[in-house]
Amino acid sequence: MIWFPSHEKKRVCSSSAVYAQYTNVGGGRRKLCTCCSALIRLHHLLRSTNILVCYRIMADAEEEAVGEQERQSEEAEEAQAEGTAAPTEKGPAKPAPSPAEPGPSPAEPALLPAESAPSPAAVAPDNRWVSALNQFKMKRFFVLRPGTLHQAMEDIQALVDKEIDGPVQSIWLMAEVDHWNNEKERIVVITDNSLLVCKYDFVMFNCEQIQRVSLNFIDRISHGTFIFPKNSLLTREGEGVRLFWDRQREPSFTSRWNPFTADYPFMTFTYHPVKNASDKYSALCEIQSFREHLKAAAEKAHSTKPVPGRANGVLLLSQPILIEAYVGLMSFIGNQNKLGYCMARGNIGF
């Protein structure tokens, strides 16, 4: 019911008048009756309900699209598995290999039929949880955050002395293993004249320490698995690379028992834990490629800047790498909790 501001009071209750009042069309002072006010409140309610329904429809459509994409990927995998399987009775027989295209040699393993390979549904569910757990652990490394490694490379390249070190040849992401079996995250830079081992803080984007080794002093590069003394309680899996630059000097007694010493005539590197995160990190953490680049750079430095009284050349060895640590309680706690890496440790405090 709408009251018009005229001397002759008329009672009008129509949909057009209610719409005009709701949309503020027309002038004058109008008052709505209880019936029309309820209609307007109902209109607001229906609008909000429609918005919620639209959001729900969009969410359902998105879920259906994701499900359809997963179904298509499964069908593609099944089709690929059927293509690698032996031809069926209805399919044409596979032609014999021509002399120009020899078949696989007897030493190569034959391809298994698709029936012998386990399907994705037949894989144990525990493997999926293990993969999800590994991905969660990987995400804790700050070096995997987008743009972090690129920023670290730019900061370190800015600190390279062009007159002493020369231009940068390659940059590597490694884990250094000290004489007490402690792992430490390092960025290793190979230049024309030097090997730079950098301790970089991926949280604050700051290079805290740089250790320089002249390439023309490196005389041996050893590659192999890790071993410990006979009575040691420690173990380490995997392989590593150790480079020597002073074969005539042996570590002193105080250096062997000092966990913070830095006067050892060699360095040991191994794979970074994020090696399998992606192809990019696999290339940056590859030990074999690092050894080859280091050997080539050291030999070039020996030829251009020979050291008087020293044999010019690099000896490449393939032998186990000895770590003279026996108990290693500190290294056990540190390596298990990855204390040598920049990682997200969670919330501390209350």
Identify the DSSP state of 216: G
Mean pLDDT of 39-57: 56
How many other β-carbons are positioned within 10 Å of the β-carbon of residue 22?
14
Q: Would you state the torsion angle of the CA atoms of residues 310, 314, 315, 316, taken in this order, to the nearest 10 degrees? A: 160
Question: Looking at the chain, how many residues does it have?
Answer: 350
Residue 228 CA, chain-centre distance (Å), reads 30
199, β-bridge pairs: 209
Burial of 331 (0-12, 13-18, 19+ CB in 10 A): buried
- pLDDT tens column, 65-109: 666 777 777 777 777 776 655 444 444 444 444 444 444 443 333
pLDDT exceeds cutoff 70 at 2: no
Residue 231 CA, chain-centre distance (Å), reads 37
How far apart are the C-alpha atoms of 270 and 219, rounded to whole Å?
Answer: 19
For the whole model, what pTM was predicted?
Answer: 0.61
- pLDDT tens column, 124-161: 445 554 566 566 677 889 999 999 999 999 999 999 99
* Residues 103-137 as b or e (16 or more Cβ within 10 Å = b): eeeeeeeeeeeeeeeeeeeeeeeeeeeeeeeeeee
pLDDT for position 163: 93
Burial of 39 (0-12, 13-18, 19+ CB in 10 A): middle
